[in-house]
A = this chain, B = another copy of it.
Amino acid sequence: MLIKIDLNKDEPIYKQLMDQIRYGIASGYLKPGEELPSVRQLASDLGINMHTVAKAYNLLKAENILIVNSRKGVKISTDVFKPIQNSIGNNSRSIIEDLVSKCILDGIPKDKFITECEKIYDKINNRRNDND
């Protein structure tokens, strides 16, 4: 999978990395059980610092998304997809609230907003199902 880091963005590199790996898994570019490049390898590929990659890997390990083994390398957890949940977390809810507030001020009507959410969900989800 192609990972793209924007060094000019305000968002810290390790977070960009985490987001892209999550996105890669959700969209099926990366599969449960699959190996990821070593810290050194990925750092060198992306032209960033080793510690930055390690930080992203370790935080994703704490989220039970990656399995980090100093000898065997890094791979994606086989149970990375959690069982079906009924409700989203408070954190996500609060992100949506901030987002919706902005959209309302920006003149985005409900149907446009919802359609966009659906489109993005489908884009990510379908791509994974296709890749299966």
Contacts and interface: CB of A to CB of B under 8 A. Distances in A.
Interface of A: 7-8, 10, 13, 19, 22-23, 25-27, 62, 65, 67, 69-72, 80-89, 92-93, 95-110, 112-114, 116-118, 120-122, 124-125, 128
Given A97-B23, A118-B110, A92 B102 contact: yes
What is the count of identical protomers in the complex? 4
The 3 tightest CB contacts between A and B, nearest first, are A82-B107, A26-B101, A26-B104
A105 B118 contact: no
Contacts of A19: 98, 101
A107 B26 CA distance: 10
A115 B7 CA distance: 35
- Residue picked from A19, A22, A65, A101, most chain B C-beta under 10 Å: A101
A106 B122 contact: no
A104 B125 contact: yes
Contacts of A95: 95, 99
A70 B25 CA distance: 29
A19 to B, nearest CB: 5
B69 A8 contact: yes
16 contacts: A7-B69, A22-B102, A23-B101, A26-B105, A81-B105, A83-B107, A86-B112, A87-B108, A87-B112, A92-B102, A92-B103, A95-B95, A95-B99, A100-B120, A113-B117, A113-B121
